[in-house]
Amino acid sequence: MNILTGNDLKTGAVIWWDGSGWSLHVNDAAAVGDEAAGIIATEQAARRVNGAYLIEAEAAPEGIRPGHIKERIRALGPTVRLDLSLKPADPAAGNWVI
Amino acid sequence: MYVYDHYDQQMVDTRVAEFRDQTRRRIEGTLSEENFRPLRLQNGLYLQLHAYMLRVAVPYGTLSGAQMRMLGDIADKYDRGYGHFTTRQNIQYNWIKLEEAPDILADLATVEMHAIQTSGNCIRNTTSDQFAGATPDEVVDPRPYGELIRQWSTFHPEFLTLPRKFKIAIIASETDRAAMRLHDIGINLVKNEAGELGAAFYVGGGMGRTPMIAPLIRDFVPLDQFITYAEACLRVYNRYGRRDNKYKARIKILVHELGAAEYTRQVEAEFAHLLTLQNTAGNIEPPLAELERIKAYFADPAFESGLSDSLDLANADFAKWVATNTAPHKVPGYAIVSISCKPVGGIPGDATADQIRLMADLGRDLSFDELRVTHTQNIVLPHVKKADLFGLWSKLVAADLATANIDQIGDIIACPGLDYCSLANARSIPVAQKISQAFASNGKGEKLGELKLKISGCIIACGHHHAGHIGILGVDRKGTENYQLSLGGSEGADCSLGTITGPGFDEDGIVGAVEKATDVYLANKQGEERFLDTYRRIGMAPFKDAIYAKEPVNG
């Protein structure tokens, strides 16, 4: 599947297109097809996202898994500071990115 | 410490106001990202993996206690309670909000700081020797000359859009603590046979994908002409440096392609032309009175005389720290203290807001209100009375800042890598943490003595891996992190570039390979040889044999 990501313009936070808006959680990401370019144009023009782009991801049983390690680290947070990641209570969360 | 005059402060304040307006227009939508991007980069604001990142300039690595305290306060107020000291003697914050960036710059301006020259294809913030003004082995304090370079290079209209970024380092001793020859321009202040001060120019060094050691192009430029000479070096580069290919745009490629002799000839011709303008409006050299004005700010603090050099070393941990983390000072009874930001298993160069503020207070109270950031991502208190060392150490111990490992294998340089950086191909920090832990738990770290290990998460080489006695480069191999090992690099006066051992390793494999390399050193070491010396004497082969030896098969 393809999903859309970018950064929140004001805060810089990593965000994912959930079909009607933007979520901090990759698991909320919605599959997009030909409409992606239109969504990017509209959302960037409305300044709801900065630098949006399309990535490949897999709909795994445990949730959506971006195809590239860089995107998985973006989705989680720094693996060396899991306390600042989106899964601060899971000490093994870093294994997900590998 | 240099103190801003009216012009300095006005330039910085004006820049803050401009950036506030630009940011407002970006958020309101009248500036596109395409138009805004170069403006935010000119103010040190990058968009990184998880958020905006702000890189703050620390000119020639020198800070006052109040400036350091502000860096800690910013970490708390605008970031997530920590900052990261970089290999360019700067600090960067990882979790910045665009809407708050102008406020941060305004706060910085109140303590004469900014984020100018920390990004873009301009002359970047100049680096220097972290022991400047304190070490007995320098011919002169290089910082006034660094400040002169700062004033000349800041907003220099001719050099705002160079072919690529441009880094200058200035030192004034034979011992190179600033990786001077791995810069676009490395300046070494020297004395000639007549005892006069001058500047030796090394041009065209750098790391990145094409590492080069800068050749010496002029061994002595009189100090009343040295800005003019730097201008000539830049002009030739600005005119002929390649703009068609980002990967060939650094000055090292120009110097290499022209040859050092031809590049030098062109610089000398430009220099001769500039000298003819000396008594005209085209003169670029600042008057000596300006240098004298600047120098006055860097006069020695009021050192006490007649202090004893004796120390009570009964506490073994304290004695170990004194041996590794202090260096001789030019004044009897004083020491230069290096505070390690590399606790065992920690993130190299990271410090919490509380740690930063503690170091600020210690610098204010025990080091004449002066601190330095080092290119090895540590902090230096340049002027500490030996009588104050035990008390200082006790406070550092309580704050997890007293690891006794300066220049040892635990004192790893690591770039932020793929944990934070959008340009990285692999993570650097977890590798640094594993190596640091491995050598602390097997007890070999100390036995190895001086061993500089440097890790970069991509070929840009912010982690200086080319210059590591042991260097590690993270690469992306079909979507998986892979680590190349190199041996024999050095950033010092014996500057050399590391050689890759062979095929790369995964994250655990690279730790094992480093252990094997250090075993070869310990088995072959003669006398007082460092790892680097043994490698240079015996060559790559024994290391390669050990690192890639097949494990014996049982049965």
Query: Are A14 and B50 in contact (CB < 8 Å)?
Result: yes
Say how far apart CA B529 and CA A46 lie, in whole Å.
Answer: 63
SS (H, E, C) B304-323: CCCCCCCCCCCCHHHHHHHH
Q: Which of A7, A13, A70 sits opposite B418 (nearest CB)?
A: A70
Measured between CB atoms, does B34 come within 8 Å of chain A?
no
- Asked if the C-beta of A78 comes within 8 angstroms of chain B's C-beta atoms, the answer is yes
Quote the CA–CA distance of B151 and B59 in Å, as a whole number: 11
pLDDT tens for each residue of B91-113: 999 999 999 999 999 999 999 99
Tokens representing residue B144 in the block: 């006034």
Which residues in chain A are closer than 8 Å to B52, comparing Cβ atoms? Answer: 12
Those residues with Cβ within 8 angstroms of residue B19's Cβ, 6 or more apart along the chain or in another chain: B39, B40, B43, B101, B102, B105
Q: Given A7, A67, A68, which is nearest B47 (Cβ)? A: A7
pLDDT in tens, B484-536: 999 999 999 999 999 999 999 999 999 999 999 999 999 999 999 999 999 99
Q: pTM surpassing 0.90?
A: yes
CA distances B510 to B343, B515, B534, Å, are 20, 9, 21
Instruction: List the beta strands (DSSP E) in chain A.
Output: 2-7, 14-17, 22-23, 50-60, 63-66
B342 has a chain A CB within 8 A of its CB: no
Structure tokens at B38: 């170069």
Residues of A in contact with B429 (CB under 8 A): 78, 80
Cβ atoms within 10 Å, residue B172: 25
Cβ pair A12:B51 closer than 8 A: yes
Helix, strand or coil for residue B372?
Answer: strand
**DSSP string of B427-470, one letter each residue:** -SHHHHHHHHHHHHHSSHHHHT-S--EEEESSTT-TT-GGG-SE
B102 phi/psi in degrees, rounded to 5: -60, -35
CA dihedral B313, B315, B316, B320 (to 10 degrees): -60
Beta bridge partners of B82: B352
For residue B554, the model assigns a pLDDT of 61
Residue in chain A closest to B433 (alpha carbons) equals: A80
Q: Which one-letter DSSP state was computed for residue A64?
A: E
Angle subtended at Cα B137 by Cα B135 and Cα B143, rounded to the nearest 5 degrees: 60
**Residues in chain B, pLDDT under 50:** 555
How many separate helices (H) and strands (E) can be counted in chain B? 17, 20
Task: List the single best residue of A73, A85, A86, A98 to mutate versus B (max B Cβ within 10 A).
Answer: A73
DSSP A43: H
HSE-up of B318 (CA within 13 Å, CB side)? 15
Q: Is B551 on the interface with A (CB under 8 A)?
A: no
In chain B, residues with a C-beta closer than 8 Å to the C-beta of A98 are 481
* The predicted structure's pLDDT at residue B553: 63
Task: Let me know: does B86 contact B93? Beta carbons within 8 Å.
Answer: no
DSSP conformation class of A12: -
Nearest partner of B403 among B446, B492, B341, B361, judged by Cα = B341
Q: Measured between beta carbons, which residues in chain B are less than 8 angstroms from residue A47?
A: 27, 29
Instruction: Print burial letters for B113-140: b (CB count within 10 Å at least 16), e (below 16).
Output: bbbbbbbbbbbbbbbbbbbbbbbeebbb
CB < 8 Å to A74, chain B = 49-50
Half-sphere exposure of B313 (CA within 13 A, CB side): 9
The total number of residues shown for chain A amounts to: 98
Instruction: Give residue B132's identity as a one-letter amino acid code.
Output: A
Are the CB atoms for B220 and B190 separated by under 8 Å?
Answer: yes
**Closest residue of chain A to B28, computed from CA coordinates:** A47
DSSP state string for B375-431 = TTS-EEEEEEEGGGHHHHHHHHHHTT-----TTSTTS-EE--GGGT-TT-SS-SHHH
What H or E segment, with its residue span, contains residue B472? strand B470-477
**What is the C-alpha separation between A42 and A17, in angstroms, rounded?**
12
The Cα B260–Cα B168 span in angstroms is 18
How far A75 CA lies from chain B's nearest CA (Å)? 9
* ipTM reported for the complex, 2 dp: 0.97
Interface test with B, best of A8, A10, A16 (most B CBs within 10 A): A10
Cα B440 → chain centroid: 25
Which of A5, A8, A11 to mutate against chain B (most B CBs within 10 Å)? A11
Interface of A with B in 33-62 (CB under 8 A): 44, 47, 50-51
Check if the beta carbon of residue B430 is closer than 8 Å to that of residue B507. yes
Distance CA B205, CA B75 (A): 34
Measured between CB atoms, does B92 come within 8 Å of chain A?
Answer: no
Taking CB atoms and an 8 Å cut-off, how many pairs form between chains A and B?
72
Residues of chain A with C-beta less than 8 angstroms from the C-beta of B422: 70
Pairing of strands B453-456, B470-477: parallel
Residues 6+ apart with CB under 8 A from B296: none
- Please tell me the distance from the alpha carbon of residue B361 to that of residue B256, in angstroms, as a whole number: 47
* Residue in A with minimal Cα distance to B476: A69
Is residue B206 within 8 Å of residue B182, measured between CB atoms? yes
Walk me through the domains of chain B, giving residue ranges and CATH numbers. Answer: 6-109 (3.90.480.20), 134-297 (3.30.413.10), 316-398 (3.30.70.3340), 413-547 (3.30.413.10)
Residue B147 — φ and ψ, nearest 5°?
-65, -40
Q: Find the farthest-apart pair of alpha carbons in chain B and give their distance in angstroms, rounded.
A: 86
CA distance B64 to B361: 10
The CB density around residue B377, as the number of other CB atoms within 10 Å, is 26
Q: B458 and B474 in contact (C-beta within 8 Å)?
A: yes
| Helix or strand (DSSP H, E) at B351 | strand B350-352
Residues of chain A with Cβ-Cβ distance to B458 below 8 Å are: none
Do A51 and B422 count as a contact with CB atoms less than 8 A apart? no
In contact, B122 and B165? CB cutoff 8 Å: yes
For residue B149, give both structure tokens: 């370079």
Ranges of each domain in chain A: 2-97
